[in-house]
Amino acid sequence: MTGTVCDPYGRFPELEVCRSAIEAAADALIRCFGAGGKLLACGNGGSAADCDHIAGELMKSFLLRRPADARFRAALAGSGLPDAAEMADLLEGALPAISLPSQTSVLTAFSNDVSAELAFAQMVYGYGRPGDVLLCLSTSGGSRNIVAAAVAARAAGLVTVALTGARESELSRICDIAVRVPESGTYRVQELYLPVYHYLCARAEYRFFGGAEGGARRERT
């Protein structure tokens, strides 16, 4: 991916110090999707918005065309629906991802009835399966609900990836992979999140949709 629009090191050379962790996170995500797993992402505030952004890039085409696979297209063709051919042309390949902050009914119900600090942990326990990846976004690395989600994920057999600021934190210590971007102020940390997770999404997309059936660049809206 070096030299592409999503190259985080050329455009943001300060991220070179995180290269090994970023590449490890990309490899973990590719292994997860290759084994039929999914990504769960959690964060608060601006990081919650980043979770939604990440899910959006993975669940539909990002940089490449993602035609529906041949087996699915054949099943649609045999459905007898009058618009099956159009559906087959319009639906896109997806890399399964769930933004936990977007699960508002579960989030608010569990926060109100049981514990706000454990709301993400509850969703990890409910959605997560061994081999899935939990991406934990916390600029401080000390958000209690995010740390609790990581603890639950490890207990459930998920791979845990932290995306945090520069300083070592409880979250970076307990996660399997810690991408600590070299900034400390909240908004400056968040500014470096974007090239990191765009790269993770692009690496996964090129791995699974960069072959003969897909791979053509698409125009973004």
At residue 3, does pLDDT exceed 80? no
The yes-or-no verdict on residue 55 having pLDDT over 70 is yes
Which residue from 169, 195, 165, 167 is spatially nearest to 181, judged by alpha carbons? 165
CA dihedral of residues 204, 39, 98, 155 (deg, nearest 10): -170
75-79, 124-128, 129-133, 210-214, range with the lowest pLDDT:
210-214
Average pLDDT (38-57) is 98
Q: Is 182 part of any domain?
A: yes
pLDDT band at 49 (very low <50, low <70, confident <90, very high): very high
Q: Is residue 118 within 8 Å of 109, Cβ to Cβ?
A: no
The pLDDT of 26-35, averaged and rounded, is: 98
Residue 51: the pLDDT is 98
Residue 74, in any domain of the structure: no
Q: Report, as an integer, the average pLDDT of 3-11.
A: 77
In this structure, is residue 220 part of a structural domain? no
pLDDT attached to residue 78: 87
**pLDDT above 70 coverage of the chain, percent:** 93
CA–centroid distance for 90 within its chain: 23
Q: How many domains does the chain have?
A: 1
Give the pLDDT band of residue 213 (cuts 50, 70, 90): very low
Burial class (CB in 10 A: 0-12, 13-18, 19+), 49: middle
What pLDDT is recorded for position 16?
97
pLDDT of residue 218: 57
- Domain that residue 24 falls in: 8-65+94-209
Give the model's pLDDT for residue 80. Answer: 85
pLDDT at 2 over 50: no
Q: What CATH number did the domain enclosing 185 receive?
A: 3.40.50.10490
Is 84 among the domain residues? no
Q: Is residue 80 part of a domain?
A: no
Q: Which residue has the higher pLDDT, 77 or 104?
A: 104
- Mean pLDDT across 3-12: 79
Rounded-to-integer distance, Cα 189 and Cα 51, Å: 15
Whether 176 is in a domain gets the answer: yes
Lowest-pLDDT range of 46-60, 96-110, 120-134, 206-220:
206-220
In a domain, 131, yes or no: yes
Residue 58 domain-assigned? yes
Residue 127's CB is within 10 A of a number of other CB atoms, namely 17
Regarding predicted confidence, which is higher, 213 or 51?
51
